[in-house]
Amino acid sequence: MTALLEISGLEKRFRLRGGRVLQAVAGVSLSIAPGEVLALVGESGCGKSTLGRCLLRLEEIDGGEIRFDGQRIDALRATAFRPLRQRIQMVFQDPYGSLDPRMTVAEILAEPLTSLGLVRNRHDAAPRVLELLDMVRMPRSCVAKKPHEFSGGQRQRIGIARALATRPDLLVCDEAVSALDVSVKAQIVNLLSDLRAELGLAMLFISHDLAIVERIADRVAVMYLGRIVETGDADAIFSSPGHPYTRGLLAAAPRIDAPFTTDGLLRGEPPDPAAPPQGCRFHTRCPQAVARCETDDPSPVPLVPGWSVACHFAANPVPEPMENP
Amino acid sequence: MPLLEVSGLRVAFPSPTRPLVALEGLDLTVEAGETVALVGESGSGKSVASLAIMGLLPAGTMVTGQVRLNGADVLAQPARERRARRGGGIAMVFQEPMTSLNPVLPIGRQIIEALPDDERRSRTAASARAVELLASVGLTAPERRLSEYPHQISGGMRQRVMIAIALASRPALIIADEPTTALDVTVQAQIVALLRQIQDESGTALLLVSHDLALVWQMARRVAVMYAGRIVEQASVEALFARPRHPYSAGLVGAIPRLGGGRAERLVEIPGLAPGLAERGPGCAFAPRCRQAAAICASPPPAHGIACHFAEAAR
Amino acid sequence: MIAGIRKPAAPMLTAGLALLILIAIIAIAAPVLSGGRDPALVLPHERALAPGLAHPFGTDLLGRDLLARTLYGTRISLAVGLGVAFAATIAGTAIGMIAGYARILDGVLMRGIDGLMAIPPVLLAVTLMTVMRGSLVNVIAAIALAELPRVARLVRASVQAVRANLYVQAAIVAGARTPAILLRHILPNIAAVIVVQATFIGASAILLEAVLSFIGAGIPPTTPSWGNIMAEGRSLWQVKPHILVFPAIFLSLTVLGVNLVGDGLRNRLDPRGKAS
């Protein structure tokens, strides 16, 4: 089966003041099958949000290829890309900024339909608008209200409804629940899970919260300083992570089933993305780093089909940490 | 005698129509050396509570009730007296270190300003103490940090500086308001380890204000759950997680995604929304969202203990 | 406070609007209010008369009735104020929106605008008027050109601020084309600022017209304008102050009214803007 989305060697650079270059995405390859949820996890500055934005053409890429349903889309001109927006949509992180404060809910939900020519005018969009509100479990009476009349969780539902308006095949969720309260997060994650099952959606679920990711992801890709360090089946990675960074992330994630321990905690902080370390980018914080790691940048090694780890020790399962952080 | 004793703390904000009550009679104690967590979502009043205890609410806010530190009512004291106290007071660590650190002052200066008067007399002694503090919070090359500015260091390091500033006045109690929310998860874990270590070594009590129940599990011994301006349940952390007795606490605990739970586990939802300041009435504020709500919930819930008419039955 | 009348909710806005409505009524009802006197009628025997029964505001150096001239002059000022406000706002907004949204054109457009702004408005208007014949339309065009850089810069800055908002990116993702984004998302969110600025431009334009006419570069004296009425009274103001005084009072009150409306609007729109 052809992958729905296939990214190879994606690169995105930003020019900073003072002439420095920030390589936000430094050669990323991944793929998503139809109906599959791939979670992209990492901490701030790893480039995961930038990657998501590149998929939606909110940024232009500097290298690599993006193939959607077999067709190369990165080189398309803006006008040629527009029809594809029907099939790739996005849910944004900030429920307070992602809805135009001067538009009513009906106008917000109708916009993708009218802009992409799926309906002739807003009037014709009305049935679909009501259908979308039902889908995200919001009352139909919302249609005439404006965003400021709703809470964060409700606004996020409106944002999800807008993203689903054109029946997309792929939904990019950029930290879609990060800004929400705990109890509301639960509502939205459940909603996304249900919608994904009902509609057969594929998703690129971008998040830093591993516990949330575990609820919804089929596969996981872990990103660090612009590179993917591990990709594989979600259950497998969560139970026995192959890359030291993944292990560090899991060790640091707050758990409520066991007492707090400092075992496995990474030392140091994520380096400045504009000045990444030489060799393996993770070596400055890695408990297993050896001399080779400071000079050789490891490429992803497939452990089993579908599971690859970018580490010189990938083939050797979890060794003892060489020093306590 | 408990280190911190809050009784009947009530905070209301003036508004054109009627005062908006953010806190309705809070009762809370923290023993010396203990870590107590104040948990709630946005709008619950937990941040207002921490600011009220520190006396940091804007002028014009109506604050009634008592906040006793070692028996002395701190709310009644003028600010000058509070500052002149030699250690043994309350210090605060805020959520966003970039905005709570002064961006135009070097770090060393900000730490020295927080030192008690007798440690500030000599410049060299003050600097030495500042270096000592920076080292104690795990910053490398502490001497160099003295002359650096907040924007030159990373988020995690800034939070460590904030903790150092809090420790400078040798407080008996640190109030930490969402201390790790703005940090990456690997750095968050480091800060948790640091705070626990500081407590072990110096016996400082900690009042942790947070929405993150998992963080509370890692750090606190007792927890008070807040909803709509009231504490609805207080218990030890183990008891709360194992047997939450208030319907809201039960919902909150059920909503936490647990690592290792897999995809099969569906998160517990609490339907609806918390009421805003202007929408609270005399009855139980949680009733509209509560599965067990009945006619009796229109009358105010018990003011002490579990704030639920069905407390016995909510197991 | 007068007993029984409460202070209005927006005192500045109310006062300003009241003034402007009064001025508008004067403009419309000028023929009636001036008692049928002809502003262009030259009466050689009644030159430079002080205010009296026959001529309540007196007469000017050519014997024309000043009450009629002053009241008819209101029409010119209002026409200039409204005309310039419209023209400068529409042109300035168009330029500002393009400059604010299309980074490629930004540089070129803003250098042009900066060049225009470098010339003091009065000087610019005067220069333009020396090239064009003096007439109402030309005066409006010249002043509008002098005022539009202010609008363009304000709009450009506002557009850049709004463009950074997430909902604009959401609109791009939803497939909206650039014109739709500008008109549907950006313009409504900057409209309040533009409207307030337009009122201040109106006030400035009225003053500028008076200055132009005063120095003879504006409306020719056959059509009465407060500026050219005052111009004629310039040489005799110590002896015959009435020629200067009445138009000056009207001018001040009109500009005051427009400024009050502008301030009042800004106060009303700003806090609500922050809240949403």
3-class SS letters over B91-147? EEECCCHHHHCCCCCCHHHHHHHHCCHHHCCCHHHHHHHHHHHHHHCCCCCHHHHCC
Residue C172 reports pLDDT greater than 70:
yes
In this predicted structure, which of A131-145, B145-159, B214-228, C34-48 has the lowest mean pLDDT?
C34-48
> What value does the mean pLDDT of chain A take?
90
Residue A323 reports pLDDT greater than 50:
no
- Which of B262, B154, B243 minimizes the C-alpha distance to A272? B154
Residue B281 reports pLDDT greater than 50:
yes
Which pLDDT band holds residue C271 (cuts at 50, 70, 90)?
A: low
Using a CB–CB cutoff of 8 Å, tell me whether C276 touches chain A.
yes
In this predicted structure, which of B70-79, B144-153, B174-183, C90-99 has the lowest mean pLDDT?
B70-79
Q: Which element (helix H / strand E) includes C74?
A: helix C66-101
CA–CA distance, C221 with C76 (Å, rounded to integer): 12
- Give the per-residue pLDDT at A314: 80
- Structure tokens belonging to residue B113: 């300003």
Read off the pLDDT of each residue in A21-37 and give the average, rounded to a whole number: 93
Which A residues, 62 through 91, put their C-beta within 8 Å of a C-beta on chain C? 82, 85-86, 89-90
Q: What is the pLDDT of residues A189-202, one digit of tens each?
A: 999 999 999 999 99
CA–CA distance, A229 with A224 (Å, rounded to integer): 7
CA–CA distance, B32 with B2 (Å, rounded to integer): 7
- Give the per-residue pLDDT at A317: 54
Q: Which percentage of chain A shows pLDDT scores above 90?
A: 66
- Which of A52, A38, A43, A51 minimizes the C-alpha distance to A234? A38
The topology under which CATH files domain C14-30+61-275 is MetI-like fold (1.10.3720)
- Reading phi first (left if > 0) and then psi (alpha if -120 to 50, else beta), residue B226 is in beta
Residue C272 reports pLDDT greater than 70:
no
CA–CA distance, A162 with C102 (Å, rounded to integer): 26
Q: Show the beta-strand stretches assigned E in B114-267.
A: 173-177, 205-210, 222-227, 230-236
- Which of C71, C102, C62 minimizes the C-alpha distance to C250? C71
Q: Which chains touch C (3 or more CB pairs under 8 A)?
A: A
Residue C35 reports pLDDT greater than 70:
yes
Residue A98 reports pLDDT greater than 90:
yes
- Structure tokens belonging to residue B201: 């070594």
> What value does the mean pLDDT of chain B take?
86
Q: What is the pLDDT of residues A233-285, one digit of tens each?
A: 999 999 989 999 999 999 998 888 788 888 888 888 888 888 899 999 999 99
In this predicted structure, which of A49-63, A101-115, B110-124, B257-271 has the lowest mean pLDDT?
B257-271
CA–CA distance, A167 with A274 (Å, rounded to integer): 38
Residue B82 reports pLDDT greater than 80:
no
CA–CA distance, B37 with A152 (Å, rounded to integer): 25
**Three-class secondary structure assignment of B4-34:** EEEEEEEEEECCCCCCEEEEEEEEEEECCCC
Q: Which of B263, B277, B289, B291 to mutate to test the interface with A (most CBs of A within 10 A)?
A: B263
Torsion angles phi and psi, residue B237, rounded to 5:
-60, -40
Q: What is the pLDDT of residues A155-180, one digit of tens each?
A: 999 999 999 999 999 999 999 998 88
Q: Answer whether 0.90 is exceeded by the pTM.
A: no
The answer to whether residues A223 and B291 touch, using CB atoms and an 8 Å cutoff, is no
Torsion angles phi and psi, residue A305, rounded to 5:
-55, 125
Burial of C1 by CB count in 10 Å (0-12 exposed, 13-18 middle, 19+ buried)? exposed
Q: Which of A38, A182, A218, A324 to mutate to test the interface with B (most CBs of B within 10 A)?
A: A182
Instruction: Break chain B into its structural domains and give their ranges.
Output: 1-79+186-315, 90-168
**A181, A190, A249 ranked by CB distance to B267: nearest:** A190
Using a CB–CB cutoff of 8 Å, tell me whether A265 touches chain B.
yes
Burial of B261 by CB count in 10 Å (0-12 exposed, 13-18 middle, 19+ buried)? middle
- Give the per-residue pLDDT at B90: 87
Using a CB–CB cutoff of 8 Å, tell me whether C171 touches chain A.
yes
Q: Which chains touch A (3 or more CB pairs under 8 A)?
A: B, C
DSSP letter at C178? Answer: H
The answer to whether residues B36 and B8 touch, using CB atoms and an 8 Å cutoff, is no
**CATH 3.30.70.580 correct for B1-79+186-315:** no
Read off the pLDDT of each residue in A91-111 and give the average, rounded to a whole number: 93
Residues in Cβ contact with A146 at an 8 Å cutoff, skipping those fewer than 6 apart? A101, A102, A103, A104, A105
- Give the per-residue pLDDT at B83: 58
Read off the pLDDT of each residue in C29-52 and give the average, rounded to a whole number: 83
* Structure-model confidence comparison of residues B79 and B64, the more confident one: B64
Which A residues, 140 through 199, put their C-beta within 8 Å of a C-beta on chain C? 148, 159, 162, 165-166
CA–CA distance, C23 with C250 (Å, rounded to integer): 9
Which pLDDT band holds residue B76 (cuts at 50, 70, 90)?
A: confident
DSSP letter at B55? Answer: T
**CA angle at A263 for the pair A262 and A265, rounded to the nearest 5°:** 70
Residues in Cβ contact with C215 at an 8 Å cutoff, skipping those fewer than 6 apart? C126, C231
CA–CA distance, B56 with B35 (Å, rounded to integer): 22
- Three-state DSSP at A197 gives helix
Instruction: Break chain C into its structural domains and give their ranges.
Output: 14-30+61-275
Chain C residue with the nearest C-alpha to that of A109: C174
CA dihedral over B138, B140, B146, B147, signed as positive or negative: negative
Read off the pLDDT of each residue in A223-229 and give the average, rounded to a whole number: 94
With CB atoms and an 8 Å threshold, state whether A214 touches B212: no
Using a CB–CB cutoff of 8 Å, tell me whether C173 touches chain A.
yes
Residues in Cβ contact with C73 at an 8 Å cutoff, skipping those fewer than 6 apart? C224, C225, C226, C229, C247, C250
CA–CA distance, B288 with C59 (Å, rounded to integer): 78
Question: ipTM beyond 0.90?
Answer: no
Burial of C35 by CB count in 10 Å (0-12 exposed, 13-18 middle, 19+ buried)? exposed
- Give the per-residue pLDDT at A320: 47
A&B contacts, CB < 8 Å: 129
- Give the per-residue pLDDT at C3: 52
- Give the per-residue pLDDT at B176: 93
- Structure tokens belonging to residue A54: 């590149």
